[in-house]
């Protein structure tokens, strides 16, 4: 069994997080991630190609936010606009977050069978990453 961790990061904190099955498409989990977050201070929502769908973009635009999501291969509409390419480069912060998260062997290998204990250890790892725990 594999598990995906979906996170929404703001500049200095974890905005929202949820778990899904490893085989489930990212775009199908976005509504759960969106509903559990606090998005009032966010202007741009930067995501990877896994979140490229009409429903995700519509949900973001209905909240008066700007979706910065590259198109999947073979998409008919254009990809990122020139003005958004520089913002999309800041997505490396998410990659760094996951790299630090995977330093915890227990998370990387999914030692915990129950979602509750797995997500609890994820929360502890986040406290360590954001230096809220010694």
What is the predicted pLDDT for the residue at 56?
95
pLDDT digits (tens, 9 = 90+) for 70-81: 998 887 777 788
Helix, coil or strand: residue 15? strand
Between residues 96 and 132, the one the model is more confident about? 96
What is the predicted pLDDT for the residue at 61?
95
pLDDT digits (tens, 9 = 90+) for 40-72: 889 999 999 999 999 999 999 999 999 999 998
Of 10, 13, 7, 64, the residue nearest 30 (C-alpha): 7
Q: Per-domain residue ranges for the chain?
A: 3-127
Of 31, 20, 1, 33, the residue nearest 119 (C-alpha): 20
pTM: predicted TM-score of the whole model, two decimal places:
0.85
């Amino acid at each position: 069994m594999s598990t995906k961790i979906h996170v929404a990061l703001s500049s200095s904190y974890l905005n929202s997080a949820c778990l899904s099955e490893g085989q489930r498409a990212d775009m199908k989990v976005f509504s759960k991630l969106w509903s559990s977050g606090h998005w009032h201070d966010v202007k741009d929502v930067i995501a990877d190609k896994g979140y490229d769908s009409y429903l995700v973009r519509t949900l973001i635009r209905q909240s008066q936010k700007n979706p910065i999501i590259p198109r999947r291969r073979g998409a008919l509409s254009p990809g990122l606009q020139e003005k958004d390419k520089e913002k999309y480069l800041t997505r490396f912060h998410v990659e760094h977050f996951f790299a630090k998260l995977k330093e915890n062997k227990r998370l990387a290998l999914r030692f915990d069978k129950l979602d509750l204990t797995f997500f609890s250890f994820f929360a502890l790892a986040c406290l360590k990453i954001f230096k809220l725990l010694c």
